[in-house]
Chain A
């Protein structure tokens, strides 16, 4: 029969607090849930490999005499400047690795809540739609900053430590800001992109497929259109190319496409705006079918 505790219902004698950042428990829980997935932990750890390679390069660049045999004709590759960082951070394999990590961490952010009807539980709490969206976006932002921001800022510090002086910083004073700016830009863009795609389906597996399809298909489409129309502007159809264009601005290097980078920013901003519109329509406490 019934399993009611002998002592019956007991009140809680604490007091509810009003949080300045009510979205923070959502972010913290999202991060913790991601780390419970084995595959995620594997790829997340793998996401630090480029930074380790870059660290090796930094070390060797300061000990050229010791590694004479190793470097020989590759000295140009070991010139440490903003382009060195850009080579690692803006290259397609790194972006793809980032995408894989985020697929494991963020595909289900909204899709799972839609599938399991948990939005009504969130919104029966003193949470606004904005709190929910910021909380979920921050999960994506955390992982992007963890892979594309923090390690690379540390590398700048390592460079100074290996050199034993501040000459590098004096030569490129804006580099740390460039790395930070690029990481924040990536964090915001990927957060909006993943929220958009995650809100587009109730099934996180479909979302994962959608992420890869969008990323790769945009690249293929751009390639085909460029072949047909023979204009670099067709590169704007590629997500990857747009991110690389934007990246070149942050590192002060030559953009890969012969197109003003402002166009790429406009394309990415349009995707972000679309994401906010979709989220505004999809995220609600109760699904209203009219």
Chain B
């Protein structure tokens, strides 16, 4: 595994950000998914050595996150969430500058800066002052500076935030192309389910600083349950309990929609049987499509 963390704990003052996170992230594109405040960015920052965990250990490409920070930073490209640039610079100078700071020889850094700016689609604007860049251009620029030294691992923190639909599609396309290049591992942190679903092979879902689910996307998507959406008239609480006694997980939305996560071995007729036993009338019954969103809702509890 190229990234491993074991029992990582971190808190900002009294606020617990990570509470015993353990995960192994293999090759390819890995998604770090979770609602805002779940601890995704904190985990990335710990992996980069910006923050030191209170407890726990971790490795990135076999380099220890406490001892070998310089080696990790040499091998990792980091695209932060917030806008960041150096005023007064153009894109070529900026990208070459950070290439040089990564350890590239000066001329090589300049040459490579041109290449990656072409790659991310900023070739026309590469001599323009960064102060004049749009949000989408800044996002591409951040990707360019993360790629300039040809990292082995790429940490992308909310790469599509603040982008319009076109810009988002373009950045996702770039990331997809990079992830397709098997020699670069991409760790994509996002709270946008579609981004993770469309790019990643593996996902780690964080909830309140803990790992709520982890695994290959294909396995998780082939969720081991069927999802039914039901509305009943009668005692919904009793009906829910009956379903739960039968091995299903049940959630109820604020507007009374009951989501039944039924094990694959289960039979949809069990829903009607449970209704009959509890005297509830089924007024609405739909088999819903299971997706990452359902899994996310299931493990994180977001509707």
Q: Which residues of A contact B (CB under 8 A)?
A: 1-5, 8-12, 14, 16-19, 22, 25-26, 29, 33, 36-37, 108, 112-113, 116-118, 120-128, 284-286, 288-290
Contacts and interface: CB of A to CB of B under 8 A. Distances in A.
Contacts of A25: 97, 100-101, 106
**Contact-size category for B:** 35 or more
Given A4-B119, A4-B121, A116-B87, 18 more contacts: A2-B173, A3-B173, A4-B173, A8-B177, A8-B180, A9-B177, A10-B119, A16-B102, A17-B105, A18-B103, A19-B103, A25-B100, A25-B106, A29-B89, A33-B86, A37-B88, A125-B102, A285-B50
Contacts of B50: 120, 123-124, 284-286
A2 B84 contact: no
Nearest to B129: A36
A13 to B, nearest CB: 9
Q: 9 closest pairs, A vs B, by CB?
A: A2-B173, A290-B13, A16-B103, A3-B121, A285-B50, A124-B78, A12-B150, A117-B84, A126-B70
B77 to A, nearest CB: 8
B104 interface: yes
Contact of A22 (B69, B82, B101, B177): B101
Nearest to A286: B50
Contacts of A285: 45, 48-50
16 contacts: A9-B119, A14-B105, A14-B108, A17-B103, A17-B105, A116-B84, A116-B85, A117-B82, A118-B84, A123-B50, A126-B73, A126-B102, A127-B73, A285-B45, A285-B48, A288-B12
B174 to A, nearest CB: 6
Contacts of B202: none
A118 B85 contact: yes
A10 B12 CA distance: 39
Contacts of B104: 12, 14, 16-17
Contact of B101 (A2, A117, A122): A122
Nearest to B13: A290
B89 to A, nearest CB: 7
B80 interface: yes
Contact of A9 (B112, B170, B184): B184
Contacts of A289: 12
Contacts of A22: 101
Nearest to A36: B88
B230 interface: no
B118 interface: yes
B219 interface: no
B84 to A, nearest CB: 4
B169 interface: yes
B98 interface: yes
Contacts of B82: 117, 120
B115 interface: yes
Contacts of A9: 119, 147, 177-178, 181, 184
Given A12-B150, A120-B80, A288-B51, A125 B13 contact: no
A202 B86 CA distance: 13
B76 interface: yes
Contacts of B164: none
B98 A125 contact: yes
A2 B118 contact: no
Nearest to A126: B70
Contacts of B183: 11
A108 B86 CA distance: 10
A35 to B, nearest CB: 11
